[in-house]
Structure 1
């Protein structure tokens, strides 16, 4: 199966569509009686009313989520291939994006984090263009606005602001205009939001939007380890990918090296951003899927022992399905 997706054959897009729904067999087999979907943060719903969410039936919710994941996987695949992050273009990024988006039951339904992945993929694309741009001011401004739009949907997305400055450190020499432009783009969106709150005599509510940023990072975690055993094969593949990446690191293009470093920091930002939402749900970690899927795809793109990497992928798929059912 891996060899099939290593190629750029258009028929793979059809296989991916079928694979997307195959990875959701467990939730279709036992449909929840009701699914809630809060598309926007409360401070956004204050001035934007979108009549979707709780009116959707469970089947519609799950099918829409699957279609969104499939569309995101195709877009993600285009971005990774356009920036030549793998040894050759193919459909492996899309394959592992869909696989990563199917690891846990909360990943299979509509969620604000899932919607934000459209924006995260867009941010990834723009950040990887920094090194090729003569002037990154407008690029950073656009990224700031995209992150602001994501924050309107899901507040933890605000932590991606850090990626603006980390990416500039990786790709460019210091220019204060470039460092400020991303923040200006972000503030531009929230300036309009603040004006709206002011017109409605609700500036106190606008101030409370930012209080989660002062949350203390939790020092203790309650983890049911049996719920996360599916991550064992994922972790194994990631370790193998990092070993492979280290071996090829200095033989890769400079832009490729910097892109992987940037994606590593993006993965970390996605993980730690959960602290900004005290009642966060497991679907939050969908934000880790785009940068994580690149690393998984990198290993399978460079692996040479077919019996081993095909078996490893089969173990990953079977483990995912097993833990979804049980």
Structure 2
């Protein structure tokens, strides 16, 4: 399977669709009768005066999520190949993205983090453009607005603002105007939200938006069943091998590739740790980790020498996903 996707063959787009269906069919068979839908945070719900919560049936919800994942996978693949971050054209980022997006049940339905992945892809594209951007202040401003829009959809996305500054440090010589431009872009969106709150006589509630930022990081997370997380074993093995392979080749890679992987690593850490601002722990949050993880996995699968090893690891990952979708503990 991996060997077939190591080249940029257009026929692989059809195989991607097949993989997408295979990895979701078990969830469709045991589909819940009702799946809650939330597209924006409660503080931004006033901006959408339409009752959409009960507008999607469960099957339509899963199908829509699958379509979004497929589009995101192709977009990610395009970005990686456009900037040659894996040294040669390949369909591996798309394959890994579709596979990783099927790890858990909450990954398979429409959710704010899934929608925010479009914004993460947009951010990655703009941040990579900073390397040779003739208008970095305009890009920084746009990045700030993107993070603000993502915050309206899913509040933990606010920490992606740190990725903007990380990108400016990695790709640009220091210029305080660019850093301020990102802040202005972010504030612009929330300025209009504050005006809306003022017009509706709710301005005293505006400050409550920021209260979750003061939450303490949890010392422990309550997990109902540890068996459902065994699917992460092959994920952790592949991730470890990806880090080892990347470390071996890091200084032999060209400059943009090294900088891009530094940025993706920083975005992965941000996405991994920012869940704490939500009062209820939800696995769907970790959809925000998919973009950097997919690129790292694809890097290993493309540069690994022993075909039997990477094919076996991918097979175990797929089999564990299917097994744990059919078996709930």
Q: In the alignment, what sits opposite 1:28?
A: 28
Q: Write the mapping of 1:4-43 to structure 2, written as runs, cut at 5 A.
A: 4-43=4-43
Q: In the alignment, what sits opposite 1:255?
A: 256
**Separation in 1 of the partners of 2:290 and 2:303?**
20
State the Cα distance separating 1:227 from its structure 2 match: 2.2
Q: In the alignment, what sits opposite 1:285?
A: 286
**Separation in 1 of the partners of 2:220 and 2:42?**
28
Residue 161 in structure 1 maps to residue 166 in structure 2 = no
Q: In the alignment, what sits opposite 1:307?
A: 308
Deviations 1:183-214 (A, max 9, x none): 11010011000011011111122111111111
**TM-score (normalised: structure 1):** 0.97
Q: In the alignment, what sits opposite 1:196?
A: 196
Residue 136 in structure 1 maps to residue 139 in structure 2 = no
Residue 231 in structure 1 maps to residue 241 in structure 2 = no
State the Cα distance separating 1:49 from its structure 2 match: 2.7
Whether contact under 8 Å (1:150, 1:158) holds in the other structure is yes
Q: In the alignment, what sits opposite 2:49?
A: 49
Q: Write the mapping of 1:78-117 to structure 2, written as runs, cut at 5 A.
A: 78-117=78-117
Cα 1:25–1:50, aligned 2, differ >3 Å: closer, same or farther?
Answer: same
Cα 1:295–1:277, aligned 2, differ >3 Å: closer, same or farther?
Answer: same
DSSP 3-state at the match of 2:4:
helix
Q: In the alignment, what sits opposite 2:185?
A: 185
**Separation in 2 of the partners of 1:5 and 1:52?**
38
DSSP 3-state at the match of 1:209:
helix
DSSP 3-state at the match of 2:76:
helix
State the Cα distance separating 1:178 from its structure 2 match: 0.6
How many aligned residue pairs are there?
A: 326
Q: Structure 1 residues 187-196 or 216-225, which shifts more?
A: 216-225
Q: In the alignment, what sits opposite 1:148?
A: 148
**Separation in 1 of the partners of 2:281 and 2:40?**
14
Q: Structure 1 residues 188-197 or 216-225, which shifts more?
A: 216-225
**Separation in 1 of the partners of 2:269 and 2:244?**
19
Structure 1: unaligned runs, 5 residues or longer: none
**Separation in 1 of the partners of 2:272 and 2:155?**
14
Whether contact under 8 Å (1:77, 1:91) holds in the other structure is yes
Whether contact under 8 Å (1:148, 1:190) holds in the other structure is yes
State the Cα distance separating 1:50 from its structure 2 match: 4.2
State the Cα distance separating 1:51 from its structure 2 match: 4.2
Whether contact under 8 Å (1:41, 1:153) holds in the other structure is yes
DSSP 3-state at the match of 2:189:
helix
Deviations 1:50-87 (A, max 9, x none): 44332211111111111111011111110111111113
Residue 118 in structure 1 maps to residue 118 in structure 2 = yes
**Separation in 2 of the partners of 1:135 and 1:58?**
45
Whether contact under 8 Å (1:87, 1:301) holds in the other structure is no
Whether contact under 8 Å (1:137, 1:177) holds in the other structure is yes
DSSP 3-state at the match of 1:201:
coil
Q: In the alignment, what sits opposite 2:326?
A: 325
CA RMSD of aligned residues (A): 1.1
Structure 2: unaligned runs, 5 residues or longer: none
**Separation in 1 of the partners of 2:229 and 2:130?**
36
DSSP 3-state at the match of 1:9:
coil
Deviations 1:110-161 (A, max 9, x none): 1111111111111111111111113411111111111111111111111101
Residue 221 in structure 1 maps to residue 221 in structure 2 = yes
